[in-house]
Each structure stands twice: as C-alpha cells, then as structure tokens.
Structure 1
Amino acid sequence: MIRAIGFDLDGTLFDHRGAARRGVADFFTARGVTVTDVVVNAWFESESEHFERWRRGLIDFAEQRRERLRDVLPGLGLELPGDDAGLDAIFDDYLSAYRAAWAVFPGTRDLLDGLRRRGYRLGLLTNGSAVQQSEKLDRIGLTDVFDVTLISEQIGHHKPERGAFAALVSGLGVPPGECLFVGDDPTTDAAGARAAGLESLLIDREVMRPSDVSAAIDRALAPPPAAHHRPAASSPIA
C-alpha cells in the first residue's frame, strides 16, 4: 500500500519550460534577435546537454550556464565576452527574465493539499542548485507543503542515482515499495525510482491537463484489485 508520494519539481509541479520559453523570448528580443522555435529549441538542447554534464560532476553549476551562452549566442550573431564575469553578467539578464515567469502548473497546490488531507506523506526530490531550487519553492509558495524537501546539491546524490531515492524514502519514513514517485523525465524520474524499488508515475505536462494528472495519480494510488478465487467444492457427505 502506498503511504507516501515523492515529486520531482521542474516539469512536474513547476512550469520550467514555460518560464524558460518566456525568459528566452524576453532575453533575446532585448538583444535584437527574432525569437523562433529554432532559437528556443537550441537553448533547450544546450541546457539539457550542459545540465547533464553538471549532474555528472564534469563542470560546476556556473560553468554549465556559461556553456549555454557559448553554444547559442554566436550562432545568433551575438558577441561573447572574453571572461567568465562577462558571461555571468549576461546570464544574469536571462535569469531575471526567467524568474519573472516562474509559476506552478495550474491546480498544483490544490493537488498537494488534497493528498495531504488524505493522509499521504509528501516529499520533494529535485536535481539542481540549492540556492535556485530553494528560491523557486519560496517564490511559488510550496515551501510548507512537503514533509521532506531534498535538493541534489545538498544531499550529494542526483536522480537517477539510487542514493537520491534512498534519501527520499528514509526522510519520509517508509520502505521504497510504499512510496510513489511522480515525475516527467523517463530516465531520471521514472526509471530511477523503479530501480530504487519505488513505484513510479511518469507524467507529461505538455499534453496532460491538471485533471489528467490528478486522475493518473489516483489510479497509481489505487490498490490492486483483489484476486478472485473460485470457492472450493463441498466435500461429499459420506
């Protein structure tokens, strides 16, 4: 029986891609660039590549941001500063536009509050920097809803590592098999949770409405149907 539910943050509860799209649009428009799907997709591809390099410990968090600028800006005819400080200052402009668009997906707070009222313990497990992820939770009003909040940089384990999910279930006080993990990434969330012994639910906010997400969680929480056994035949009376 499921007694606790863990959630990913970006793309699951927090609309990262929506905020990033608006941030990219404002950031590049201010620099005279016509923002097309090609521009947005190039930004997301670079973000995914270098965030993964950070997750694997190959570069630090600030460097993965600089690498995005090095990937994308020259192809748009924008000059790159020659030093890290200059790159950091430019990325700060993007961050300001990104932060201005931060929001949860519609219905998120109602969903979480409803699960708490039903008696489930709730946890958050997110990959990212402690400073930025904590700031997100504060700004979007989710700091008080979780029994356990774990950020990969703080715990020293990143999803999909088993240690990240072990820390989650330990904090929630349940064995892995009694915890459902909800996330949007097939590898870091769904496969990682299953490999650590948790139940998992993969959601896609690009196509699922808030009601679809709630219904999917309800289905995942429902106990399996009881097996039906044919009654044993009566013994004949001797």
Structure 2
Amino acid sequence: MSSTAKVDWEKVRAVIFDVDGTLYTQSRLRSKMLFDLLGYYALRPWRLQEMRILQRFRAEREKRPGQAIPDLENAQYTWCADGGGYPLEKVKRVVDYWMFNHPNKYLISCVYPGAHSFFTTLRQRGITIGIYSDYPAQEKLAAMDLAADIVVSSTDPHINHLKPAPQGLLYLTAQLGLSPSECLFIGDRPELDGVCAERAGMPCLIVDKQPYDQFTFYKQLENQLVATLTTPAHG
C-alpha cells in the first residue's frame, strides 16, 4: 500500500509502527550525531577505528536482509568483529554507546510532527499500538515520550529474523490475537517494511518523504481516522 492510499479504519484493530525513519526523522538525528562524533574523535584521533566499527556494524546488517540465525542479538556483533578484525567486546561497547545510548537524548527533538497526537487518537479510538523494529526500541520510545502496547525487535530471541522476513509481524499478530488483515503496518522503507508487510499479508503504509517542517503524514492519518470513526469503534 502506498503512502497516499486511504485506510479502511473500520477494519483496523491495531497499528504497528517501525521506529527509525518512521517515528522520527533520521536526517536530523544524523546531523546531531555527526557533530558529536567528529567533536569526540577530533580530540581522540588514536580511537578513530571506533568510527569504522560503527560503519561496519551497519554495513554488515544491511547486507543481510531477511537473515535468520539463532541468537541474532549476538551474531550481529560477531559479523562486525570478524569482518573487520575487531575485538568482540570492543564492538559491543562502541555500538551500544554510539547507536543505542548516546542518540536517545536527541530523539524527542526529532520526532515527526503529529506522531504524539496520532498515538493519542489511536488510544482514544481503542486501537492497539504495536512496534516492530529491526533494532531494540524500548529506550527509544521512552526517549520520544511515546508508549506502545507491545514492542518487538528482530533481535528478540523469539524472533531472530531481520526484515523483510515476516516473523516479527506474525508474532505480533499472534500475541494480539488478531489476523494480519486487521492490522496496519507503518514503515519508511518499501524494500524492507513494505515487503515484510506483504509477506505477512498485512496492509502497509510508507511514510511520506516530506521535509520535517512540512511533515503532515501523521496529521493527515489522524484526520482520516477521526472522520471515519466519529465514535470509538473498539472497546
């Protein structure tokens, strides 16, 4: 489903969101992180290898779409360590800090306009909110002041599949007791989120590529939802 398609809100019991690039703008965050990274390593040139670790970690994951492997959580660090000849513990320390910890303080200023209001309206209408991300999302959600009813990551031990494998979405629907057709997945990458939803048999929207100060995607969805469901549809 395209970003402009009209949603049949009468049939939607749950909305499942990707996180990175879907709930917040990555370009804003990357600008802030680049400033911090350059400032930090300009004073510590002997540690520049750590920036290459971050690049390799992302690259190793990106070249494995749909990867299914036991203990994916630890395997992703091993891919980086083995491919670059880095100590495994160093890879974990650098990645966890620069990717999963340090950026969180900036997320609230990067949340897409309308996201908070859309979440509020979904709750008011009795529609369940789910999260499915390739990366751990609990701390990111807290940093963005957003709350979901269920949160799943590709690296969770009961998933162990990267997108576009549909296991994460199918697990969510099973936990919610819903069919995929009763859910809506919102993501930002057609080749990952879109294909993932297609393989799960779930309707999908792809976030509009709009400048941050002109971003109306969530406001438009909220208006559509309110206009369709003038009274709460689900208890």
TM-score of the superposed pair, with normalisation by structure 2 = 0.67
Partner of 1:14: 24
Q: 1:135 to 1:32 in 2, by over 3 A?
A: same
Partner of 1:172: 176
Bigger shift: 179-188 or 101-110?
101-110
Q: Matches of residues 29-178 of structure 1 in structure 2 within 5 Å?
A: 29-32=39-42, 48-53=58-63, 56=67, 57=69, 60-63=75-78, 83-85=87-89, 94-95=98-99, 97-103=102-108, 104-129=111-136, 133-142=137-146, 145-154=147-156, 155-156=158-159, 157-178=161-182
1:189 equivalent in structure 2: 193
CA RMSD of aligned residues (A): 3.6
Could you list the runs of 5+ residues in structure 1 that have no partner in the other structure?
Answer: 34-41, 71-80, 224-238
Q: Distance in 2 between matches of 1:164 and 1:205?
A: 25
Structure 1 Cα separation of the partners of residues 122 and 211 of structure 2: 23
Shift of 1:46: 5.1
Q: CA deviation at 1:26?
A: 1.4
Aligned to 1:212: 217
Question: Which amino acid in the other structure matches residue 155 of structure 2?
Answer: E
Please give the residue correspondences for 1:222-237 in structure 2 after superposition, counting only pairs within 5 Å.
none
| Matched letter for residue 187 of structure 1 | E
Larger radius of gyration: 1
Distance 1:206 1:44 in 2: 28
Which structure 2 segments of 5+ residues have no match? 1-10, 44-51, 229-235
Question: What's the CA shift string for 1:145-200, capped at 9, x where partnerless?
Answer: 32221122223233221221111222232211121110001122112102211101
Structure-1 separation of matches of 2:58 and 2:206: 19
- Of structures 1 and 2, the one scoring higher in RCO (CA 8 A, sep 6+) is 2
Instruction: Give the aligned residue type for 1:176.
Output: P
User: Distance between the aligned counterparts of 2:124 and 2:96, measured in 1?
Assistant: 40
Structure 2 counterpart of 1:31, one-letter code: Y
In 2, the alpha carbon distance for the partners of 1:216 and 1:163 equals 26
- Is contact 2:107-2:140 (8 Å) kept? yes
Equivalent residues, number: 199
Supply the distance in 2 between the matched residues of 1:203 and 1:5 (Cα, whole angstroms). 14
Identity %: 24
Partner secondary structure for residue 153 of structure 1 = coil
TM-score if structure 1 supplies the norm length? 0.66
Give, in angstroms, the shift of residue 214 of structure 1. 3.0
- Residue 213 of structure 1 deviates from its aligned partner by 3.2
- The verdict on how the C-alpha distance between 1:83 and 1:190 changes in structure 2, with shifts beyond 3 A counting, is closer
Alignment partners' CA distance in 1, 2:21 and 2:61: 15
